[in-house]
Amino acid sequence: MAEIILVSSGKGGSGKSSFTAGVGRALAACGKKVLAVDCDIGLRSLDLLFGVSDKVVFDWGDLLLQRCTKEQAIVRGNVDLLAAPPRFNSAFTPESVAAMIKMLKPDYDYIMIDSPAGIDRGFELAAAGAERAVVVSTPDSVCVRSCGRAFDELYKMGINDVKLIINMFEVKPVCKHKLLNIDQCIDETGVQLLGIVPRDPNLGYCSVTGNNPGEFSPSTLAFSRIAKRITGKRIPLVCE
């Protein structure tokens, strides 16, 4: 039975999709069966980050509307993928999305749901089937505040197991007081820290290569450590 993890943030561009792809791959490398669900309706990106755009024929909207089977909707890979629909449909409700996720649960160890930016309709749909969540924040006040808001909304929805990921972390700008430090991010979001992902200039190439930027790149190492923590291993927190 899968654990269902929502990847959210509030503000856009904080690294939710990169995190979903990177940690999804790292969980798969630990031998786990992983499904990534792209909930960014109309603006999907996980098919690019997994390098399977040309294999996407159906999406989870088709599955929900019974236009295709589960086997047709899921793009198989190291990490299986359910692509996002191109547009909203009135049949996409929190209840119908939650039922779809529940139906997929027995097939996986982890289902990672990539939320769109914002805390409105798309976020509510993405959160509908989730049991736990991470909020991904860059170390700046605007993003940190939006993660605090997302945390409040998740709590109202009954998702109490929420952890913080600080993404695009750089030690030097913190030393120069240009960005928030780790303690400030934790204090201002009020969320317990799960991991830190350093700024990795090569991560941007993932959408071109459909893979991680290399086995020893800082982001790959960070995703691997976070994946191990998700599986329950005790891995010390360090700034890779």
Ligand X SMILES: Nc1ncnc2c1ncn2[C@@H]1O[C@H](COP(=O)(O)OP(=O)(O)OP(=O)(O)O)[C@@H](O)[C@H]1O
Q: Which does 38 bind (CB under 5 to 8 A by kind): Mg ion, ligand X, none?
A: none
Tokens for 136? 């991904």
**Beta carbons of 39 and 116 less than 8 angstroms apart:** yes
Region from 76-84, 96-104, 120-128, 199-207 binding ligand X, contact rule CB under 6 A: 199-207
Is 45 a binder of ligand X (CB under 6 A)?
A: yes
Q: Among 4, 8, 16, 196, which residue sits at the site for ligand X (rule: CB under 6 A)?
A: 16
Q: Are 49 and 136 in contact (CB under 8 A)?
A: no
Query: H helices within the chain, ranges in order?
Result: 16-29, 46-49, 60-64, 70-73, 94-104, 121-128, 141-156, 171-175, 182-189, 206-209, 218-230
Residue 122 binding result from Mg ion, ligand X, none, given CB thresholds of 5 to 8 Å by partner type: none
CB of 170 to Mg ion, least distance (A): 21
Window contacting Mg ion (CB under 5 A); options: 15-23, 31-39, 139-147, 223-231: 15-23
- By the rule CB under 6 A, 15 interacts with ligand X: yes
Candidates 8, 9, 17, 138; binder of Mg ion (CB under 5 A) is 17
Q: Could you tell me which residues come within 8 angstroms of residue 12 by beta carbon, excluding any fewer than 6 positions away?
A: 117, 118
Query: In the range 86-125, which residues lie near ligand X by CB under 6 A?
Result: 116-117
Give which of ligand X, Mg ion, none residue 189 binds (C-beta under 5 to 8 Å, depending on kind). Answer: none
Burial class (CB in 10 A: 0-12, 13-18, 19+), 1: exposed
Minimum CB–partner distance for residue 76 and ligand X (Å): 23
Q: Which residue has its beta carbon closest to Mg ion?
A: 17
> Quick check: 219 binds ligand X (CB under 6 A)?
yes
Helices (H), 30-140: 46-49, 60-64, 70-73, 94-104, 121-128
Other C-beta atoms lying within 10 Å of the C-beta of residue 118: 16
Q: Rounded to the nearest whole angstrom, what is the least distance from the CB of residue 60 to Mg ion in the complex?
A: 15
The torsion region of residue 82 among left (phi > 0), alpha (psi -120 to 50) and beta comes to: beta
Q: Where are the alpha helices (DSSP H) in 90-140?
A: 94-104, 121-128
Q: Which of 8, 17, 189, 220 binds ligand X (CB under 6 A)?
A: 17
Give the footprint of ligand X on this chain (CB under 6 A). 9, 12-18, 40, 45, 116-117, 167-168, 197, 199-200, 203-204, 219
User: Interface residues with Mg ion (CB under 5 A)?
Assistant: 16-17
